[in-house]
């Protein structure tokens, strides 16, 4: 099924960074201001900016935060708010400037470390988004002994992994787990590896988490996610059913996905329909009903469910709904519409690697359609092309010599590779073509 990627299955549902972190940081912001001002002074501009931001009125919020940044004692919080708005607008250089201004205007640093660390985390994320990972790594390294230590190790490890420094990444991931051994951390590490096409490495962490026990219905939901990603559907259903009984958000929608992947459309539709009718996970329920419709080939119904789900959907579900809308048009061979919607999609969700790959496919498909002779229908031409590609693949396979695999002799340690045969250490960047990491047994 060419729907979302494996990563989408494990997308975090409950945890949202960005705007939803605002409320958690209000306490530290208030302490900063009250300390600076020496008394209980109404935070008119900042409070109004917060309210406008949480309601989604970014322009009004920016005006209030700008005023706050020019008010004695409120400067640091005002610049922080401006940085958050720039991030939501994908204006990363401006966000970097705003967050740095926030840090520069903090007063009484010794008693406002929580606020400083919070802004540093946002600043590091802005550097990542702006394509400056080295500066982000520097900040995360400074936060390894802070209250954000687990996140700092996890996010620094993610950047190391993106740079193919898998030894250093693995060490950071292990440290992140030591500091926060939650199922969510294991799932985030899995996501990181999957996005780098290293599913086996990610699965190793899920298997480690799978061996743990569950103590609550929330744990059952997380374990259900893990079992689902590992393909243990029966165990996933048991865990998720318990979570559904505990009214855990997201559990019912994922249970429906388990039934769907098992080909049980009747049970899947029943679960997704209940999500809609019960008022819990409404958008996820519509998305599930759309997936069922796609699976059964009823593309018109799939589009109806998608459009219904987009009403009031949160960011994560909206992303999947919009992606699946593109899938529907692709299944209908309306590649021009699919390409147009995909161009809009990747502008809105530039970090979606599956969408970028699909965009390349759709673009080539549209170019291919435009080259079809006028006297031949596209379906006939498509069949001709597919037969030709199959013949080419078969011919190439016959000419390809048998590949001989050697046993893995490398040991990953701190980013360098030890060759057990030669007894020497190598820089991983020098080992072209060698795949190394957790549970790797052969060289490719």
- What average pLDDT does range 107-135 have in this prediction? 95
Provide the residue ranges of all domains of the chain, joining segments of one domain with +: 1-131, 333-400
Do the beta carbons of residue 357 and residue 342 sit within 8 Å?
no
Predicted confidence (pLDDT) at residue 198 exceeds the cutoff of 90: yes
The predicted model gives 180-189 an average pLDDT of: 96
Q: Which has the higher per-residue pLDDT, 46 or 244?
A: 244
| Residue 201 pLDDT level (bands cut at 50, 70, 90) | very high
Q: Is 325 in contact with 370 (CB distance < 8 Å)?
A: no
pLDDT at residue 421, rounded to an integer: 53
Does residue 150 contact residue 135 with C-beta atoms inside 8 Å? Answer: no
pLDDT value at position 375? 67
- 200: Cα separation from own chain's centroid: 18
Residue 298, pLDDT > 90, answer: yes
Q: Are 95 and 83 in contact (CB under 8 A)?
A: yes
The CA distance from 131 to 337, in Å, is 31
| Report field, pTM of the whole predicted structure over 0.85 | no
Task: Give the C-alpha separation, 132 to 5, whole Å.
Answer: 27
pLDDT level of residue 345 (50, 70, 90 thresholds)? very high
Asked if 32 and 110 touch (Cβ cutoff 8 Å), the reply is: no
Which residues, in sequence order, are bridge partners of residue 418? Answer: 411, 425
CA–CA distance, 318 with 322 (Å, rounded to integer): 6
Would you give the distance in Å from CA 240 to the centre of its chain? 22
- Which of these, 360, 362, 385, lies nearest to 372 by C-alpha position? 385
Measure Cα distances from 198 to 187, 204, 212, 282 in Å. Answer: 14, 10, 23, 33
DSSP string, 168-225: HHHHHHHHHHHH---HHHHHHHHHHHHHTT-HHHHHHHHHHHHTS---SHHHHHHHHH
- Binned at pLDDT 50, 70 and 90, residue 28 comes out as very low
412 membership: H or E segment, kind and range:
strand 410-413
Higher per-residue pLDDT: 42 or 297:
297
Q: What is the pLDDT of residue 366?
A: 87
> Residue 12: what pLDDT?
37
Least Cα distance to 38 among 99, 85, 95, 108 occurs for 108
Q: Which residues contact 143 (CB under 8 A, 6 or more apart)?
A: 117, 120, 121, 124, 149, 151, 152
Q: What is the pLDDT of residue 272?
A: 96
415: region left, alpha or beta (phi > 0 left; psi from -120 to 50 alpha): left
Q: Are the CB atoms for 186 and 194 separated by under 8 Å?
A: no
What does each C-alpha distance from 354 to 274, 310, 340 come to in angstroms? 30, 20, 16
Predicted confidence (pLDDT) per residue in 67-119, tens digit: 999 988 889 999 999 999 999 998 999 999 999 999 999 988 888 999 999 99
- Residue reference for tokens 């030894």: 167
Residue 432 has a CB neighbour count (10 Å cut-off) of 6
Residues 396-444: tens digit of each pLDDT: 766 655 544 444 444 444 556 555 555 565 555 555 444 333 333 333 2
Cα R_g (the chain), whole angstroms: 25
Report the alpha-carbon distance of residue 63 to residue 356 in Å, rounded: 35
* Domain 1-131 in CATH 1.25.40: yes
Highest mean pLDDT among 46-60, 112-126, 363-377: 112-126
What's the pLDDT score for residue 305? 96
pLDDT for position 418? 55
**Band of pLDDT at residue 350, cut at 50, 70 and 90:** confident
Does the pLDDT at position 372 exceed 70? no
Average pLDDT over residues 318-332: 94
Report pLDDT for 365.
84
**What is the per-residue pLDDT for 105?**
94
236, 165, 151: which is closest to 198 by C-alpha? 165
């Amino acid at each position: 099924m060419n729907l979302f990627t494996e990563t989408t299955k494990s997308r975090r549902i409950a945890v949202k960074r960005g705007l939803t972190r605002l409320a958690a940081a209000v306490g530290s912001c208030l302490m900063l201001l009250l300390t600076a001002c020496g008394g209980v002074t109404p935070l008119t501009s900042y409070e109004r900016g917060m309210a406008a931001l949480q309601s989604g009125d970014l322009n009004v919020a920016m005006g209030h935060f700008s005023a706050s940044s020019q008010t004695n004692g409120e400067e640091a919080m005002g610049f922080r708010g401006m940085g958050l708005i720039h991030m939501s607008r994908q204006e990363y250089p401006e966000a970097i400037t705003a967050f740095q201004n926030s840090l520069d205007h903090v007063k009484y640093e010794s008693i406002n470390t929580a606020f400083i660390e919070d802004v540093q985390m946002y600043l590091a994320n802005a550097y990542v988004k702006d394509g400056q990972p080295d500066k982000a790594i520097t900040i995360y390294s400074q936060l390894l002994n802070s209250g954000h230590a687990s996140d700092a190790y996890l996010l620094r490890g993610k950047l190391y992994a993106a740079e193919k420094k898998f030894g250093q990444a693995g060490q950071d991931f292990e440290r992140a787990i030591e500091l926060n051994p939650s199922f969510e951390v294991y799932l985030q590490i899995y996501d990181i590896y999957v996005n780098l096409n290293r599913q086996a490495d990610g699965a190793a962490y899920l298997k480690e988490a799978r061996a743990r026990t569950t103590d609550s219905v929330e744990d059952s939901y997380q374990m259900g996610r893990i079992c689902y990603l590992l393909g243990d559907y029966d165990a996933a259903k048991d865990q998720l059913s318990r979570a559904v009984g505990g009214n855990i958000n997201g559990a019912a929608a994922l249970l429906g996905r388990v039934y769907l992947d098992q080909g049980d459309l009747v049970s899947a539709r029943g679960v997704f329909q209940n999500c809609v009718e019960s008022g819990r996970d409404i958008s996820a329920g519509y998305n599930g009903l759309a997936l069922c419709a796609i699976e059964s080939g009823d593309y018109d119904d799939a589009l109806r469910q998608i459009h219904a789900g987009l009403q009031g959907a949160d960011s994560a579900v909206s992303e999947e709904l919009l992606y699946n809308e593109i899938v529907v048009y692709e299944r209908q061979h309306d590649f021009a519409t699919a390409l147009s919607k995909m161009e809009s999609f990747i502008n809105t969700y530039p970090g979606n690697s599956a969408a970028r790959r699909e965009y390349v496919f759709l673009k080539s498909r549209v170019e291919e359609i435009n080259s079809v002779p006028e006297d031949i229908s596209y379906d006939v031409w498509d069949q001709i092309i597919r037969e030709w590609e199959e013949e080419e693949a078969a011919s190439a396979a016959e000419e390809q010599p048998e590949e001989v695999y050697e046993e893995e002799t490398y040991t990953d340690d701190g980013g360098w590779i030890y060759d057990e045969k030669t007894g020497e250490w190598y820089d991983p960047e020098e080992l072209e073509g060698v795949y190394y990491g957790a549970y790797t047994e052969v060289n490719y």
